[in-house]
Amino acid sequence: MPASVKITADVIKAHGFKGDEYPRLLEILGRTPSMTELGIFSVMWSEHCSYKSSRFWLKTLPTTGTCVIQGPGENAGVIDIGDGDACIFKMESHNHPSYIEPYQGAATGVGGIMRDVFTMGARPVANLNALRFGAPDHPKTKHLVAGVVAGIGHYGNATGVPTVGGETNFDKAYNNNILVNAMCIGLAKTDKIFYSAAKGVGLPVVYVGSKTGRDGIHGATMASAEFDEKSAEKRPTVQVGDPFTEKLLIEACLELMASDVIIAIQDMGAAGLTSSTSEMADKGGVGIELNLDLVPQREPHMTAYEMMLSESQERMLMILKPGSEPQAEAIFKKWELDFAVIGHTTDTGRMIVKHKGQIEADLPVDKLANSAPQYQRPWVATPPAARILPEWVKAPASNLGALKTMMGQPQLASRRWIWEQYDSMVRGDTLQRPGGDAAVVRVHGTMKAIAACCDVTPRYVLADPVMGTKQAVVETWRNLICVGANPLAITDNMNFANPERPEIMGQFVGSVQGMGEACRALDFPVVSGNVSLYNETNGVGIPPTPAIGGVGLIPDYSKSATIALTAAGELLILIGREEGHLGQSLYQLIIADKAEGAPPPVDLNDEIKAGNLVRALIREERVSAVHDCSDGGLLVAIAEMALAGGIGVELYPYEGKLPAHAAWFGEDQGRYVVAAKPGVAEQIAERARLLGLPARIIGKSGGNGLTLKGEAALSLAVLRAVHEAWLPGLMGA
Amino acid sequence: MRACVIVFPGTNRERDIAEAIEGVSGQPSRMIWHGDTEVPKCDLIVLPGGFSYGDYLRTGAMAAHSPIMRDVVAKAKAGTPVLGVCNGFQTLCEAGLLPGILLRNASLKFVCKDVHLRVDNAATLYTNRYRTGDVAQVIVAHGDGNYFADAAALDELEAENRVVFRYATPAGEVTQAANPNGSQRNIAGIIDKRGRILGMMPHPENACETTLGSTQGRPLFESIVAGMAAA
């Protein structure tokens, strides 16, 4: 776009400025912006970069704690995991691009989040992802699943970072707005963490990585708008990834980071050169001057506007100690990457962009980084949903028959077709692969391990944003407990529809409130995160989907647990309160074909009691298998443990006060199933009761199927066939 | 045993295999950069797994023309044992050190999972700690592991007992269902005529610790150490 383009009302609108935002820009500048300046402000003020609808509420979340080294505000969150080791992680969405171009959209989502992590000095050691697709029978679903999974897989596989876990939902509410949330975890030393503040004047600004092209221009603006019929035309704004270059960039950056020449470093993600330069300069309290003639360019005749807004992938910006350029350049040349000094820091407080002898932008850095509008958008709370009593939901002809049906449905069927496309084993530290409650990755050369998982149940959050998000946090926490970890901190990925609608903003506000309550009670702070709004097409939005990525530490991985039953003749104990809550349950959804009522309530005190007990049992090596009860309830949890271990279970008939199907399929929270030897099992139940937690022995391991008195037995072979068949069937193997 | 592990841009399992070797030999491996022109004197050259040159052009095709490969080929011809795993196998085929080629998986998808390998020849430098007919559980992790050669070349490999590993069931039956990638005759690993150069798609280096799910890849590295000591 030539600099001579006139700034008309249409041009302003096309740049996403709304309401009084453009007049506000005029007031800040005291003059009409140049085209390049308009573009720069449009991306910095986009929802994606400025968090203008969400920041007010996000500030209410707990972000500090004993383990927190760096909370939100840097490229990623940093926590202390002892012995001088730090764990650096974040989750980020790539929803809009993945719908338009699934392979590249998902691949560059993975690439972007990995750069956020290694830019802080960490080697990426694990990737996870949380995916939401539309109805299985929607004409685009198969194409989107195939593309997204291949894109995630190829990027992680080729960079040599294991993809170890995640979750996938199918729901018609995502038909026109899929969600692709990628999480990366890295490890560093606490005394070798790199930040983005460009402190110091006269320092070289260095560009490394790939050349700049015209791809992804205005990607951040696209990600801040709803979709309509013409969205496919936005394909050119989707970036193209090159995991080979990313792999070289990781190695080159980590090699340079082993020295002490880097003052600040940041990746060029959303809004590319614009956001990296302005944020680094602002944090360092300096000005910055760039000469775009020196930027490595992939194609000729690029304008300043295009270069400042390009979202070409695999690029980083560094501020180096003066004189260290040759040393740094040698490393990047060895890895066959571009290296260019493109400017320097100044004491003027201004960002000056020169191109072909012209000044294309001359802007105040602090205003650029900090003057985005902040909205307290009007909101209305989601009306409370009624509690559904267990007896209101009809009983099945057979509980095991209902289980068999449920285990073959899109909500519960095996995700093996997805995760077998991910290299989960590279680097030789993956102690628990996908398929369990949480992935476990060893801290190389130690007995410590990181546990990680992603969780949210959108139908709960839709029914009650406060309780549903509380549930998402506790489920994440429970999944970390299940493998024997101390849950430490979370990253959140807030996926919502259009916040300009008060009921959607109300979902967001409720969700933040529920998250805050749970995180405070569990001492489980939020250290990083990402907000994706406007997940909406023609006025129809997604269900609120606050994906929670949790990280925990296992101090000694020889004392951890998996969901797999390991021996016959052991007793299964259910720990936790049984209320038979069927509102919003999968039983209600699949067997009764309804999604009604309030989600299961969360009692944070009971969660803590049950979690601490289960973790103690794992550390004392009293239990041989552990699984929490979540989607599908108790019977599904038992079935998953049986399938994972290849050992059946004789189920003891339910003799309590609830309807039996509510006991087997209720989704009451704060519950675990553990397996232990006879004798030990009774002691475990007694310990739970002493803590005020109900516990009962629910069955005995053994045999080659699930049996329940009065019902036809369900063999593991049949159950496995049903469970494994659905997704390959959908995808055509 | 002194091993040199060749590192290309995009290689990613160099540490995994170096540590597997060190685990049995007690000696660290030297990492050799692809841009070097000479492999230092050593007992074993390893071409590890990964995505050398991003798998651009064809898997292993660009690595086969890296500066270091001239010396790898020369040393291999002079008798230095060479082990190529996954991308290393692809590179050995592209460099002409082993016959055949690795095509895109028949499923057209990357596959990472446990597989079972039947040891068809336990009389090699790389397999003397197994017995013929043993079954080893290891993982595969590749998008292009579909071994292809024409019928005459396959017949020759089999006639010369140079198919070292085949994909099989846990009971050792060679079935189509046990084949993760569509390889001709379920071939997972082959050796050169002189028994010095082994190429295989699965990753024995990720099957050397109970905590990673299997130790049944470890005998491969023990075999090399034992074979060297005997030589």
Q: Is A420 on the interface with B (CB under 8 A)?
A: yes
From chain B, pick out residues whose CB is under 8 angstroms from the CB of A424.
112
Q: Is A247 on the interface with B (CB under 8 A)?
A: yes
CATH number reported for the structural domain that contains residue B184 in this entry: 3.40.50.880
pLDDT 10s digits, A139-172: 999 999 999 999 999 999 999 999 999 999 999 9
Cβ A500 vs Cβ A54: under 8 Å: no
User: Cβ of B109 and A243 within 8 Å?
Assistant: no
Nearest CA in chain B to A163: B112
Q: Where are the beta strands (DSSP E) in A410-568?
A: 430-432, 439-442, 449-455, 486-495, 526-532, 536-537, 540-541, 545-554
Question: Residue A223: its pLDDT value, please?
Answer: 64
pLDDT 10s digits, A467-483: 999 999 999 999 999 99
Question: Residue B216: its pLDDT value, please?
Answer: 98
Residue of B35, B54, B211 lying closest to A431 (CB–CB) = B211
Q: Is A732 on the interface with B (CB under 8 A)?
A: no
**Mean pLDDT taken over chain A:** 95
In terms of residue numbers, what domain contains B218? Answer: 3-230
Kindly state the tokens that stand for B189: 């690993």
Vertex A565 angle, CA A559 and A571, to 5°: 95
Q: Is A430 on the interface with B (CB under 8 A)?
A: yes
Residue of A336, A428, A442 lying closest to B9 (CB–CB) = A336
Average pLDDT in the A421-427 region? 98
pLDDT 10s digits, A108-138: 999 999 999 999 999 999 999 999 999 999 9
From chain B, pick out residues whose CB is under 8 angstroms from the CB of A150.
109-110
Residue of A154, A245, A426 lying closest to B12 (CB–CB) = A426
pLDDT 10s digits, A707-726: 999 999 999 999 999 999 99
Average pLDDT in the A386-413 region? 97
Cβ A469 vs Cβ A546: under 8 Å: yes
Q: Is B210 on the interface with A (CB under 8 A)?
A: no
User: In this model, does residue A3 exceed pLDDT 60?
Assistant: no
Considering its fold, how many domains does chain B have in total?
Answer: 1
Vertex A564 angle, CA A560 and A570, to 5°: 95
Residue of A150, A336, A428 lying closest to B19 (CB–CB) = A428
* Closest among A25, A44, A35, A27 to A278, alpha carbons compared: A44
Cβ A96 vs Cβ A223: under 8 Å: yes
Q: How far is B208 from chain A (nearest CA, A)?
A: 9
Q: Specify the residue for token string 């369990």.
A: A436
Question: Residue A1: its pLDDT value, please?
Answer: 41
Q: How far is A158 from chain B (nearest CA, A)?
A: 6
Nearest CA in chain A to B11: A160
Residue A73, C-beta contacts closer than 8 angstroms, at least 6 positions apart: none
* Closest among A90, A93, A163, A178 to A128, alpha carbons compared: A163
Question: Residue A238: its pLDDT value, please?
Answer: 77
This prediction has a pTM of 0.96
Candidates B86, B211, B215, B218, partner chain A, best to mutate (most A CBs within 10 A)? B211
Q: Is B55 on the interface with A (CB under 8 A)?
A: yes
Average pLDDT in the A56-81 region? 96
CB count within 10 Å of CB A73 equals 12
Residue A233: band (very low, low, confident or very high) from pLDDT cuts 50, 70, 90: low
User: In this model, does residue A2 exceed pLDDT 60?
Assistant: no
B203 is catalytic: yes
Average pLDDT in the A657-680 region? 98
In chain B, the percentage of residues whose pLDDT exceeds 70 is 100
User: In this model, does residue A235 exceed pLDDT 70?
Assistant: no
Nearest CA in chain A to B9: A248
From chain A, pick out residues whose CB is under 8 angstroms from the CB of B51.
157-158, 160, 243-244, 247
Q: Is B145 on the interface with A (CB under 8 A)?
A: no
Candidates A420, A429, A560, partner chain B, best to mutate (most B CBs within 10 A)? A420
Residue of A159, A427, A558 lying closest to B16 (CB–CB) = A427
From chain A, pick out residues whose CB is under 8 angstroms from the CB of B35.
334
B86 is catalytic: yes
Question: Residue A449: its pLDDT value, please?
Answer: 98
Residue of B50, B54, B212 lying closest to A428 (CB–CB) = B212
Cβ A477 vs Cβ A550: under 8 Å: yes
User: Cβ of A160 and B56 within 8 Å?
Assistant: no
From chain B, pick out residues whose CB is under 8 angstroms from the CB of A145.
none
User: In this model, does residue A78 exceed pLDDT 80?
Assistant: yes
Average pLDDT in the A383-397 region? 95
Question: Residue B135: its pLDDT value, please?
Answer: 98
Q: How far is B106 from chain A (nearest CA, A)?
A: 11
* Spatial distance between the Cα atoms of A380 and A654, rounded to a whole number of angstroms: 42
Nearest CA in chain A to B33: A334
Question: Residue A228: its pLDDT value, please?
Answer: 73
Q: Is B51 on the interface with A (CB under 8 A)?
A: yes
User: Cβ of B51 and A247 within 8 Å?
Assistant: yes
User: In this model, does residue A48 exceed pLDDT 90?
Assistant: no
User: In this model, does residue B14 exceed pLDDT 90?
Assistant: yes
User: In this model, does residue B140 exceed pLDDT 90?
Assistant: yes
Residue A284: band (very low, low, confident or very high) from pLDDT cuts 50, 70, 90: very high
Cβ B208 vs Cβ B10: under 8 Å: no
Q: Is A155 on the interface with B (CB under 8 A)?
A: no
User: Cβ of A425 and B51 within 8 Å?
Assistant: no
pLDDT 10s digits, B63-116: 999 999 999 999 999 999 999 999 999 999 999 999 999 999 999 999 999 999
Question: Residue A528: its pLDDT value, please?
Answer: 97
pLDDT 10s digits, A626-653: 999 999 999 999 999 999 999 999 999 9
Q: Is A733 on the interface with B (CB under 8 A)?
A: yes
Q: Facing residues of A554 across strands? A: A449
In chain A, the percentage of residues whose pLDDT exceeds 90 is 93
Q: Is B106 on the interface with A (CB under 8 A)?
A: no
Question: Residue A226: its pLDDT value, please?
Answer: 75
Q: Specify the residue for token string 């049996």.
A: A707
For chain A, report the end-to-end CA distance as a whole number of angstroms: 46
pLDDT 10s digits, A598-609: 999 999 999 999
From chain A, pick out residues whose CB is under 8 angstroms from the CB of B16.
426-428
For chain B, report the end-to-end CA distance as a whole number of angstroms: 12
Q: Is B110 on the interface with A (CB under 8 A)?
A: yes
Three-class SS of residue B217? coil
Q: Facing residues of A345 across strands? A: A288
Kindly state the tokens that stand for B6: 């060749």
Q: State the virtual CA torsion across B50, B56, B59, B64 in degrees, nearest 10.
A: -90
Candidates B12, B14, B31, B144, partner chain A, best to mutate (most A CBs within 10 A)? B12
Q: How far is B209 from chain A (nearest CA, A)?
A: 9
User: Cβ of A425 and B212 within 8 Å?
Assistant: yes
CB count within 10 Å of CB B201 equals 32
